Amino acid sequence: MWFVHLDLVRDVVNNNATGLNLMTILALATFLAGVHAKAWQISLVGVALALCVPAMAFVQQSALFMLVAFGGLVLVGVMLWASTYAQRRKAEQAA
């Protein structure tokens, strides 16, 4: 981790890549600590951290897209609820 923070490396890599590199190193170290201690629980935490690294990279790259997609899903849900509510109200008034 110290090597990643050296000025020579920081000039080449941006802050996002530095964070992902540090998370990968932490995941590897946690997994190896679990292997050496023969504790599968610690190794499992290392694997979970390693699986979170690509997820974090995806979120960093597509945060705006996910926000717009979520907003669209909420809007579609509200429209469906409103139309269903209106149809129920019509049916109650007709009866």
Q: How far is CA 94 from the centre of its chain?
A: 49
Task: State the Cα–Cα distance between residues 30 and 24, nearest whole angstrom.
Answer: 10
Do 39 and 20 form a contact (C-beta atoms < 8 A)?
no
Structure confidence at residue 63 as a pLDDT band (50, 70, 90): confident
With a threshold of 0.75, does the pTM exceed it? no
pLDDT at 94: 79
